Amino acid sequence: MSHVTDAHQQVSLARSPPLKHEEGQCVGLLLTSYDRTLVVKEITSEEVEEMHSILSEYHQHIVTCHGSTLLPQFLGMYRVNVESEDTYLLVMRNMFSHRLHVHRKYDLKGSLVSREASFKEKVKELPTYKDVDFRNNMQKVYVSDEEKEKVMDKLNRDIEFLVHMRIMDYSLLLGIHDVERAEREEDEEMMESSYEEEEEDEISLGPAPYSTSPEGIAGYMNSFKPMGPGEFDPYVDVYAIQSTVGAPQREVYFMGLIDVLTQYDTKKKAAHAAKAVKHGAGAEISTVHPEQYGKRFREFITKIFA
């Protein structure tokens, strides 16, 4: 993370308890730092091994493309030992913004087989929709031709890297910030807070705790010029793209690749064989060879744009 010190990162992780995500597909813990700049994910010992096996080439890929990538930004990996039991945690940059709330999100793999959010998922405050939902909702991403070309250039380079590393089963995480809805929500919050301020007007508040400490990554980011509705700093929100002029509604999209630690091993081969028997050899199943997976994934993502 350019211009962000170890102290900022440490404060973001440790200053206040992290926020726990709602239970979803993720096995184990999934946390967001209190300032929403970092994501902490519990991973398996197998994923730790896979991380070690790709780390050198992952670093070379990031350097070669000058950081212009949709891949996760890995910042640290930790082993926590409690009562002789190891837990492995992976710290990554949050693909979503620390200040622009996401109103809709999708996990897209390029397959329509078993790729619809469950009823339990859909009733959540912020459900994670999938490929079938994306199609059924007639969702589209409205960006300029120039921005689409930039995204596809990044995606093509990243897919080449993932295929080379025999990695598959990754997803495109798509978050959508609705600018007009955010403005309405902000107006409502301001009205509520003004009532609260009137009630507390005569109460003298003491200094904020940790007032001499660094403000964490979000504090560092917020020290620059204030942002208007739907605005973001592209050097900070590196996964963000503004909707194009003339789009049906003003939106900001966050797009990045997630779950990039599944290599095509015997376990995946077994899953592929089982699904082929169940759905037929030609079915659009998610567990296919890395080359097939990359090709199908690229073709599907090309079609998400309006």
Q: Which residue out of 41, 148, 154, 275 is catalytically annotated?
A: 41
Please identify which residue in the block is written with the tokens 């949050």: 94
Catalytic residue among 35, 107, 158, 169: 169
Written as six digits, the tokens of 225 are 């010029």
Distance CA 240, CA 196 (A): 34
What is the DSSP annotation of 69-113? -SS--EEEEEEEEETTEEEEEEEEE-SS-SSS--SEEEEE-S--T
Determine the Cα–Cα distance for residues 96 and 283; give it in Å rounded to an integer: 33
Residue 151 φ then ψ, to 5° = -60, -45
Compute, in degrees rounded to 10, the torsion defined by CA atoms 66, 67, 71, 76.
120
Q: Is 259 a residue of the active site?
A: no
| Bridge partners of residue 174, in order along the sequence | 106, 255
Do residues 33 and 23 touch, judged by C-beta distance below 8 A? no
> Does residue 41 carry a catalytic annotation?
yes
Point out the residues that are catalytic. Answer: 41, 169
